[in-house]
Amino acid sequence: MSSTIPKSSDIDVLVSEVGPRDGLQSIRRAMPTEAKNRWIAALAASGIREIEVGSFVHPKLLPQMADAEEVVHAALKLPGLTVVALAPNGKGAARGITAGVHKLSFPVSASHQHSMANIRMTPEQAIEEVRAVCAMRSSTPGRFPTIEVGISTAFGCSLQGAVSEDWVMEMAAKLVEAGARSVGLSDTAGSANPVQVKRMFRRLRSEIGDHAGAAHFHNTYGQGLANVVAALEAGVDTFDASQGGLGGCPYAPGATGNIVTEDLVFLLESMGLKTGIDLEALIAARAFVAEALPG
């Protein structure tokens, strides 16, 4: 997920690794907790500054994520790492807050149909859920996580079809008003094109200023990095990506995996944009996935 929180001054672009959450939830088999921890540690050691390590969703729905607390606890010990977890609702958020995550990310969908399929709430209800979570800040002792939202299906929905850009912008403004620190745009359906990406992220910035958050692209028809180039031109400085391209939404038929973290880092560094990530060490981290999930 995203960040408009000032990044370390030694990097130009924040690469946010979502593989341990978005990637693993799309694989039926669960990766053992110890293997997840080793993988996350290897990713962090390569210079990745932010990792979405799990999802506080009900374990009946996603048994692969049942160990989210344990994984968060291990990740919090890694120096310099921002630990993010996804929460689909207030219950999940409460678990994440208790676990001590640095950031909680909410998938709020612009498409009514996708929203119902994914989290059984309308977009409007999801916004109210974010508001309720942000309101927990006053009654929560200690550190409260940064609340981030990625607007799913922001560029179109494979269930519903077109999504109104005005509605996406209206949602973004409402989410900021509800207390979200940043709101990014996610191409859940894998249908975004560079023209649309540049237009939408420019508009997002003009609507919500520095609350404008991360870009989350999929790689359908190989368009992922083309969209990254367009988003960079619109001023986006945080990108979600997944090691090896693992991932994709089960409720977005036809979409392929996330953009590949290794490819994204190669692109950014070759463009002269510092990521702080050692590409060789990043590629070596693949071994931890291959070992735990052969094939």
**Closest CB 254 distance from a second copy, rounded Å:** 12
Q: If binding is defined by CB under 8 A, does position 191 make contact with a second copy?
A: yes
Catalytic residues: 249
Out of 27, 61, 135, 195, point to the residue binding a second copy (CB under 8 A).
195
Contact yes or no for 169/202 (Cβ under 8 A): no
Residue 2, Cβ density class (10 Å: 0-12 exposed, 13-18 middle, ≥19 buried): buried
Contact yes or no for 18/52 (Cβ under 8 A): yes
Cα separation, 10 vs 20, in Å, equals 25
Report which residue type is found at 54. G
Residue with smaller CB distance to a second copy, 207 or 263 = 263
Out of 23, 92, 150, 224, point to the residue binding a second copy (CB under 8 A).
224
**Closest CB 149 distance from a second copy, rounded Å:** 26
- Using DSSP's 3-state secondary structure scheme, residue 247 falls into coil
Q: Which of residues 233-272 bind a second copy (CB under 8 A)?
A: 259-260, 262-263, 266-267, 270-272
Nearest to 238 by CA among 257, 219, 210: 210
Report which residue type is found at 170. E
**Closest CB 222 distance from a second copy, rounded Å:** 4
Phi, psi of 255 (to 5 degrees): -75, 145
Residue with smaller CB distance to a second copy, 271 or 284 = 271
Give the DSSP letter of residue 139.
G
Residue with smaller CB distance to a second copy, 27 or 271 = 271
Out of 189, 225, 246, 255, point to the residue binding a second copy (CB under 8 A).
225
Out of 119, 133, 214, 228, point to the residue binding a second copy (CB under 8 A).
228
Report which residue type is found at 119. I
> Which positions lie near a second copy, rule CB under 8 A?
191, 193-196, 219, 221-226, 228-230, 259-260, 262-263, 266-267, 270-272
